[in-house]
Amino acid sequence: MTEDRNRVEIAYARPDAQTILSVTASEGLTAKGAIEQSGILRRFPEIDLRVNRVGVFGKLAKLDQVLAPGDRVEIYRPLIADPKVVRKQRAAQGKAIRKRNDGKAQA
């Protein structure tokens, strides 16, 4: 049980694969150090720590953030679309559908 408390997890997900790896949490271990120690960069070569942002338990963090035992470092993929633009497009599509349906005669 004590061993589990002295570990940190590194999480990364893409549409076809999700991975959580764990490493021993030594004193002064940083997010970058944990990522490198985990070997996840070899498993997912598309991860570029100059581009991908990281967080600890869903809160953005810097690579030099010192971790506490039990922390979970998450590596985020870049967004492929701006969420605001996507919402606007969906709203416009919904308006167009409603407008077409309003023009039809109801039985």
Whether the model clears a pTM of 0.75, i.e. scores above it, the answer is no
What string of DSSP letters covers 26-52? -TT-BHHHHHHHHTHHHH-TT--TTTS
pLDDT of res. 1: 43
pLDDT digits (tens, 9 = 90+) for 19-42: 999 999 889 999 999 999 999 999
Q: Which residues pair with 56 in a beta bridge?
A: 59, 73
Q: Which domains does the chain have, with CATH numbers?
A: 2-78 (3.10.20.30)
Task: Give me the phi and psi of 22, to 5 degrees please.
Answer: -130, 150
pLDDT of res. 84: 82
Q: Are 71 and 57 in contact (CB under 8 A)?
A: yes
Q: Give the pLDDT mean for 78-97.
A: 76
pLDDT score of 99 more than 70: no
